[in-house]
Amino acid sequence: GLMAAGSVGAYAATQNTASNQGSAEGFTADRSTALAQQIKSSKPRNVILIIGDGMDDSMITAARNYELGAGGRFAGLDSLPFTGSMTTYGLKVGTGPDYPIAYVSDSAPTASGWSTGKKTVDGRISQGPSTAADVPGEDYETVLEKFKAGGKLVGNITTSELTDATPAAAASHINARACQGPQDLAACTSARKSAGGKGSIAEQLVDNEVDVLMGGGLNRYSQATDAGPTVLDYAQREHGYRVLDDKTDLAGVTSLKKGPVLGLFAPGNMTPMYQPLVATAPPGTGGATTTCQEADRGSQPDLSTMTAKAIALLDNRKGFFLQAESAMIDKQEHGSDICGAIGDLRELDEAVQVVLAFQKKNPDTLIIVTGDHAHSTQIVGGVTDGKQVATLQTADGDPMTVAYSTSDVGSDHTGAQIRVAASGPQGANVTGVIDQTDLFRTMLGRSPSGTPGPRD
Amino acid sequence: GLMAAGSVGAYAATQNTASNQGSAEGFTADRSTALAQQIKSSKPRNVILIIGDGMDDSMITAARNYELGAGGRFAGLDSLPFTGSMTTYGLKVGTGPDYPIAYVSDSAPTASGWSTGKKTVDGRISQGPSTAADVPGEDYETVLEKFKAGGKLVGNITTSELTDATPAAAASHINARACQGPQDLAACTSARKSAGGKGSIAEQLVDNEVDVLMGGGLNRYSQATDAGPTVLDYAQREHGYRVLDDKTDLAGVTSLKKGPVLGLFAPGNMTPMYQPLVATAPPGTGGATTTCQEADRGSQPDLSTMTAKAIALLDNRKGFFLQAESAMIDKQEHGSDICGAIGDLRELDEAVQVVLAFQKKNPDTLIIVTGDHAHSTQIVGGVTDGKQVATLQTADGDPMTVAYSTSDVGSDHTGAQIRVAASGPQGANVTGVIDQTDLFRTMLGRSPSGTPGPRD
Ligand SMILES: [Mg+2]
Ligand SMILES: [Mg+2]
Ligand SMILES: [Zn+2]
Ligand SMILES: [Zn+2]
Ligand SMILES: [Zn+2]
Ligand SMILES: [Zn+2]
């Protein structure tokens, strides 16, 4: 990432002795004044939301243990001053208005939750619940759309396909997350443009003229629209998008004056930082000296590079909204791949470092960092403690075993509340216990509550 | 509990519709000023630490879903203004000074961590690490002992045996947690009083003259000391303890003027609030209409009753320290018993409500509420998603399935960071990411950092 050169030290192991083990002699100063000075009730000018798909407390701890040692701290992710717990449940289809609760959610209703402030059903993209998966619900306006309507610039970037559920929910509305390209609309027939609908997710993202769109998913944009040309052609011709293919293209774009940008850096999902290490039945894979190996990502940019560029492009006097997703934490957890998930969580931390550096110069920026739902990864006491296990040597030099046990092969989401963290104006609204739908109002800026401290 | 009558409403289900689902139309006011007004940098006069053994984010969410519905909020546990994430790792025996890391810890090093500010090895009670489990480490002074030395009153209560690891670490020092009574010292021969040692955990707790001791574990106190009489006789004769047998005895004691109190309300662990519902191999136990059933607890007081009494006895001008543990969350999770664990988490919430009510009248009280380590419980998407599963009907009226997968039978700790929450002076020190050893300095009162806001 852009910060990698400067942040190498952040990923060095901490020393572990009896006296300074972790933070045993840890922080000594009372944090009261420091926290009070961070509280600002003003409405933020810029909002940056960084999502780690599937990033729960267990996955954060596993990645920290591996990258920094148990007593280490992520320079970005672990440094945000406001922290809380966030519930992520969703609904099940029904006749309403009292829909059954889904205690474990997928990435569509969770992203729809913070994007629209309302709960919905699995697979649903910023539309309300309904009687069945293939029955569209009511479209709910998103934070991104409200920022755009307010004359601010907006960005939406990810390491998965750009049309995957999390980025989709920021700026499109459709009954099923599978309906990513114009040829993928079997479950969303009324959404077809030829049927008078808003089109697939790929089409809606560009019809919304999101100023910066970046991620994988070129294959969705290569699909033919109902009108004939590909979505890519349509985006360029109708909306003036400039298409970026690789990190060289990305480096070359320096302003939005010549039109919005559409970065499509991989046919499908982008390549994670690390090669996979897939957990297997006990005694599992890996061992006391196993470490994660960097993957060859060819000409793909990484998340922190995309994030830095997105901010550089979006930064303007009126303000901006950016959603940036480290998507492959979840995808690799689904594959019981501990190294893949760890690497993408580290990438998220690097992206957080980038946005914190921007915030230093632009203190009217609200940063929120969280996941969308809990996942399957557990840190366990031994190599027989789960259905699939893997062991790695951490930065401490010691073995850590993780388990995936929701299936015999592969793995799935779980329902625990997850960590939410924030920095900047109105960041205090993530403290305590919140629901992910509460992020909606916070990102829009609640009515300032007054003058909380001497700094305001 | 004492608060049960008044708090029944807190355990009613919330209404779930598309529009008000959870907190979808949730909190609207900016919390900045409210949070700022809670920040106080002064040293607390009283400190109350409430521990849920094994209480991680997954278990909190499962209990909330069951008791209140997914959009509900615990009136105590979920209402504390300062929240953060806490790491819980420990050490493994070795030659030192760089001990190997244990990424999953038991209740002894974790409780020793906050009690002494230092890391230690599994099974170790407020002593440092060493070359082997049966080799004693250096005794580390505890928060409770420092409060006592400072002329304050001190209390230590639990729903497990009083000599179990968590209460033991508050006020005793021994190389192995199993050494609970004078007849249990096989692994701690040098601790024998006849060998010049400090004695078993049971003996040390009373030798420390902790003003209020309450829990189960009568069988440990009925053991003969090396000198002949039982620990119970010794406690009464040498230290003037008044022994309480049941909730009637508890109600009858109204001050410490006639000596310290030793409540021993069960031979072993106390009875959890709910009868067990033990998870089994898929498709598991319970179902869409299964609810938890109250257990017959005979004449045993519950945790909130013990907590209220402890505070009433300890409250004095100079201040006090109280550690109160809901211990059976962990024990029932070890038994893959979802109802047992849920009930004891609810009990913890009732105890938190009691101490918050006390704090309202005594704002110089710091309250910290947290767990000691993560555990095995996962909320999963279906009845095949784990080694052992159980399904319950929640307060929403919908089914929730939980899984235990670290073993085929029973269950064990995991290594995720856990939630920590606080209210009162210096409570801001739990925000962000902390280690449990950081609680040590916070409970002792860090040097105040100045004047954070208009209220100070
Ligand atoms: Mg995603
Ligand atoms: Mg305990
Ligand atoms: Zn997701
Ligand atoms: Zn997923
Ligand atoms: Zn424990
Ligand atoms: Zn345990």
Spell out the domains of chain B, with CATH numbers in brackets: 45-444 (3.40.720.10)
Q: What is the DSSP letter of A369?
A: E
- How wide is the angle at C-alpha B205 spanned by C-alphas B204 and B207, nearest 5°? 60
HSE (side-chain half, CA atoms, 13 Å) at B294: 6
SS3 content of chain B, % helix, strand, coil (to 5): 30, 20, 50
Per the rule left: phi > 0, alpha: psi between -120 and 50, beta: everything else, B399 is: beta
CB pairs under 8 A between A and B: 388
- Write out the two tokens for B426: 């210096």
CA distance B301 to B56: 25
- Write out the two tokens for A417: 């509340």
Ligand nearest to the CA of B330: 6
CA distance readout (Å), A414 to A226, B385, B388: 38, 10, 15
| pLDDT confidence bin for A451, thresholds 50/70/90 | low
Amino acid B451: pLDDT: 56
From the list A28, A69, A120, which residue is nearest B441 (CB)? Answer: A28
In this complex, do A431 and B35 lie within 8 Å of one another by their Cβ atoms? Answer: yes
Amino acid A455: pLDDT: 39
Run of H or E residues at A390 = strand A388-393
Amino acid A26: pLDDT: 59
Spatial neighbors of B232 by CB under 8 A, at least 6 apart, are: B218, B221, B222, B243, B262, B264
Amino acid letter for position B186: A
CA distance B244 to B248: 9
B447 vs A: CB within 8 A: yes
Among A14, A17, A19, A21, the strongest candidate for a mutation testing the B interface, having the largest count of B CBs within 10 A, is A21
Q: What is the 3-state secondary structure (H, E, C) of B396-431?
A: CCCEEEEEECCCCCCCCCECCCEEEEEECCCHHHHC
B330-357 pLDDT, tens per residue? 999 999 999 999 999 999 999 999 999 9
CA distance readout (Å), A360 to A38, A50, A325, A365, B385: 12, 17, 21, 9, 45
From the list B28, B97, B418, which residue is nearest A441 (CB)? Answer: B28
CA distance B233 to B225: 10
CA distance A412 to B87: 24
In this complex, do A18 and B413 lie within 8 Å of one another by their Cβ atoms? Answer: no
Say whether A274 sits in a helix, a strand or coil.
Answer: strand
Q: Which residues of B touch A39 (CB under 8 A)?
A: 32, 35-36
A193-249 pLDDT, tens per residue? 999 999 999 999 999 999 999 999 999 999 999 999 999 999 999 999 999 999 999
B99 vs A: CB within 8 A: yes
| pLDDT confidence bin for A28, thresholds 50/70/90 | confident
Q: Using the predicted structure, report yes or no on whether residue B422 has a pLDDT greater than 70.
A: yes
A20 vs B: CB within 8 A: no
Amino acid B449: pLDDT: 87
Q: Are A107 and A373 in contact (CB under 8 A)?
A: yes
Say whether B386 sits in a helix, a strand or coil.
Answer: coil
Q: How far is B119 from chain A (nearest CA, A)?
A: 6
- How wide is the angle at C-alpha B188 spanned by C-alphas B187 and B192, nearest 5°? 140
Q: Which residues of A touch B99 (CB under 8 A)?
A: 16-18, 21
From the list B18, B80, B89, which residue is nearest A70 (CB)? Answer: B89
Q: Are A87 and A435 in contact (CB under 8 A)?
A: yes
Say whether A102 sits in a helix, a strand or coil.
Answer: strand
Q: What is the mean pLDDT of chain B?
A: 93
| pLDDT confidence bin for A454, thresholds 50/70/90 | very low
In this complex, do B71 and A32 lie within 8 Å of one another by their Cβ atoms? Answer: no
Helical H segments across B173-314, by residue range: 201-207, 218-221, 231-239, 247-252, 303-314
Amino acid B423: pLDDT: 98
Q: Using the predicted structure, report yes or no on whether residue B447 has a pLDDT greater than 70.
A: yes
Amino acid B239: pLDDT: 98
Distance A404 CA to ligand 1 centre (A): 19
A95 vs B: CB within 8 A: no
Distance B107 CA to ligand 2 centre (A): 6
| pLDDT confidence bin for A450, thresholds 50/70/90 | confident
Q: What percent of chain A has pLDDT over 70?
A: 93
ipTM value greater than 0.90: yes
Q: Are B368 and B88 in contact (CB under 8 A)?
A: no
B208-236 pLDDT, tens per residue? 999 999 999 999 999 999 999 999 999 99
Amino acid B408: pLDDT: 97
- Mean pLDDT, rounded, for B151-157: 98
Q: How far is A439 from chain B (nearest CA, A)?
A: 10
Per the rule left: phi > 0, alpha: psi between -120 and 50, beta: everything else, B263 is: beta
A248-267 pLDDT, tens per residue? 999 999 999 999 999 999 99
Amino acid B19: pLDDT: 36
In this complex, do A441 and B36 lie within 8 Å of one another by their Cβ atoms? Answer: no
Q: Using the predicted structure, report yes or no on whether residue B18 has a pLDDT greater than 60.
A: no
Instruction: Give me the residues of B, 23-42, that contact A with CB < 8 A.
Output: 23-37, 39-41
Amino acid A27: pLDDT: 76
Q: Which residues of A touch B397 (CB under 8 A)?
A: 100
CA distance A280 to A297: 25
Q: What is the mean pLDDT of chain A?
A: 93
CA distance A22 to B102: 12
Instruction: Give me the residues of B, 378-397, that contact A with CB < 8 A.
Output: 378-381, 384-387, 394, 396-397
Q: Using the predicted structure, report yes or no on whether residue B453 has a pLDDT greater than 90.
A: no
A280-295 pLDDT, tens per residue? 999 999 999 999 999 9
Q: Using the predicted structure, report yes or no on whether residue B9 has a pLDDT greater than 50.
A: no
Comparing A52 with A2, the larger pLDDT belongs to A52
